[in-house]
Homo-oligomer: A and B are copies of this chain.
Amino acid sequence: MTYTLRSALIPVKDSYTTVDVQIEDDRIAAIGASLPIVGTAINAENKLLLPGFVNGHTHSPQFWQRGLIPQLPLELWLADVFDTSPTQIEQAYLGALGTAINTLMSGGTCVMDHLYLIAGHELESVAAAVRAYKEIGIRAFIAPLIQDLPFVGGYPEGLKTLPHKPFHQSTTEILALIEAIVAQFHEPDAGIQIAVGPTGFHRCSDALFEGCRDLSDRHNLCRHSHLLETKAQKMLAQERYGGSGVKHLQQLGFLDHRTSLAHSIWLEDSDIAILAETKSTVVHNAPSNLRLGSGIAPVLKYLQAGVNVTFGCDGAASNDGQDLLEAIKLGSLLHNVTDLDYKHWITPHKAVEMAAIGGFTGVNLADQVGSLTVGKQADLVLYDLKNLSLLPRTDPVKLLVLGRPNGVVDSVWVRGQRVVAGGTLQTVNANDFAQTAFNSQTASKPHYQTIHTVEAHYRRVMGLPECGDLVAE
């Protein structure tokens, strides 16, 4: 399809200008004043045009768990999440659809789905997510979440003192599974890529990281992992590697320009230098990090060290909101309290860059998409500047990032396809989706089965006082 956007407002250095934009097939064909109309004319007057953002880290099946899990730190929260994870393929499909809807309606055109796989139905899990993403028309990276150490491996002293069984799949089996997933679903030209996604060093062996590295090299896949999300993981790195997990990951060859690392909260300055040197990307998930009490990532230090930083929503079990604009707002404002010198603070214009070109840098696509550049793929979003939440007419980018936009996304193009028009999804009926979600059986409440086996241990290793009254709602 071909489109000509008339009179869109775009940010330029310290100001704004009004331009026309032509989209031909999947590309931005022209940007300029008074372009001839080709294809469908779109009145973009009083609308802000920005490149699409990347939702750099999420877990789509957690759609079913939003509003479900009590206020708990990651290590205990995760026990509840595992106990209540969806087990139906249809839920995997709908979870991906819900995640894509939220992403598109908050400025995102691309999602990195660190996808939980339903045990015994791994290929079908990926197939369900691929089906949803193709149907709705969002650009997607699917990193099947894998691990080869038992659950209690994620706790300091866990493997030493908590009872555990070996992980139910071998490292070799897991890597063979990913190879099969790549063969079946990796379709860069269709906007769907498979990435390797070892969950993190806390539950993955060196052999798994090395196998993922090799798969990535062989098929040019992105690499995605959690990194040092909590203080407990930092303690675990000390215990397991006698130092930083980051150095260890570098030595395993896992860190390169295709690697994006979710959270990255508990790093030392020397680790930051490694991220910069390897050109790894940090995906900052501020709402989730607050919800789980994980900490405040040293994002201003990352930026000063030249590390690429972008934003993610994280899964809905730890960010019950799933709004990318909220993740961007919080992910930029939060750091003002970490540095008295306001010259270092992230401006709204910088935040938008981090979300767009920063996001696509993190998935190794910055040369193809992520900015308003002729010849790049057309991942574009128009925001309605007559919406009350973007008024009065001061500075649209400031209002978008610092405000609390409600229903401001007017149009979205992904790879040249218009998937949102006039504020309405064109590819999927959002009202039908909401009705389906409403009709679906409520997720079971956490039954606190796993958590009861680990909570006393967790409190002890974290130096928290003993507590007879363990976790409750």
Question: Which residues does A use to contact B, with CB under 8 Å?
Answer: 14, 46, 63-68, 70-73, 76, 98, 101, 231, 287, 289-296, 320-323, 326, 329-330, 333-334, 336-337, 339-343, 345-348, 386-396, 398-399, 402-404, 406-407, 430, 433-435, 437-438, 440, 442-443, 462-465, 467, 473
Given A322-B404, A387-B434, A71 and B345 touching (CB < 8 A)?
A: yes
The answer to whether A388 touches B334 (Cβ under 8 A) is no
CB distance from A35 to the nearest CB of B (A): 26
Given A347-B71, A430-B388, A399 and B66 touching (CB < 8 A)?
A: yes
Given A66-B403, A67-B396, A68-B394, A386 and B345 touching (CB < 8 A)?
A: no
Which residue from B287, B396, B407 sits with its C-beta under 8 Å from A406?
B407
The answer to whether B290 touches A337 (Cβ under 8 A) is yes
The answer to whether A434 touches B386 (Cβ under 8 A) is yes
Number of copies: 2
Given A321-B404, A402-B321, A407-B406, A391 and B343 touching (CB < 8 A)?
A: no
CB distance from A326 to the nearest CB of B (A): 5
CB neighbours of A322 from chain B (8 A): 403-404
> In this complex, what residue of B is CB-closest to A232?
B340
CA distance A402 to B72 in the complex (A): 13
Given A71-B347, A340-B73, A404-B323, A392 and B64 touching (CB < 8 A)?
A: yes
**11 chain-A/chain-B pairs, Cβ below 8 angstroms:** A65-B394, A66-B392, A71-B342, A71-B346, A76-B342, A98-B388, A291-B402, A341-B464, A388-B433, A388-B434, A394-B443
The answer to whether A391 touches B326 (Cβ under 8 A) is no
The answer to whether B342 touches A73 (Cβ under 8 A) is yes
The answer to whether B291 touches A71 (Cβ under 8 A) is no
CB neighbours of A65 from chain B (8 A): 394
Which residue from B66, B339, B392, B465 sits with its C-beta under 8 Å from A440?
B392
CB distance from A386 to the nearest CB of B (A): 5
The answer to whether B404 touches A407 (Cβ under 8 A) is no
CB neighbours of A293 from chain B (8 A): 336-337, 339-340, 342, 345
The answer to whether B394 touches A442 (Cβ under 8 A) is yes
CA distance A386 to B101 in the complex (A): 16
CB neighbours of A46 from chain B (8 A): 438
CB neighbours of A435 from chain B (8 A): 386
Given A290-B336, A337-B289, A403-B67, A343 and B437 touching (CB < 8 A)?
A: no
CB neighbours of A64 from chain B (8 A): 392
The answer to whether A333 touches B392 (Cβ under 8 A) is no
CB neighbours of A341 from chain B (8 A): 464-465
Which residue from B291, B345, B395 sits with its C-beta under 8 Å from A336?
B291
CB neighbours of A340 from chain B (8 A): 73, 231, 293, 462-464
CB neighbours of A296 from chain B (8 A): 337
Q: A67-B403, A393-B442 are in contact. List 8 more A-B contacts (CB 8 A).
A: A65-B394, A66-B403, A67-B398, A289-B337, A291-B336, A320-B398, A391-B437, A406-B407
CB neighbours of A66 from chain B (8 A): 392, 394, 399, 402-403
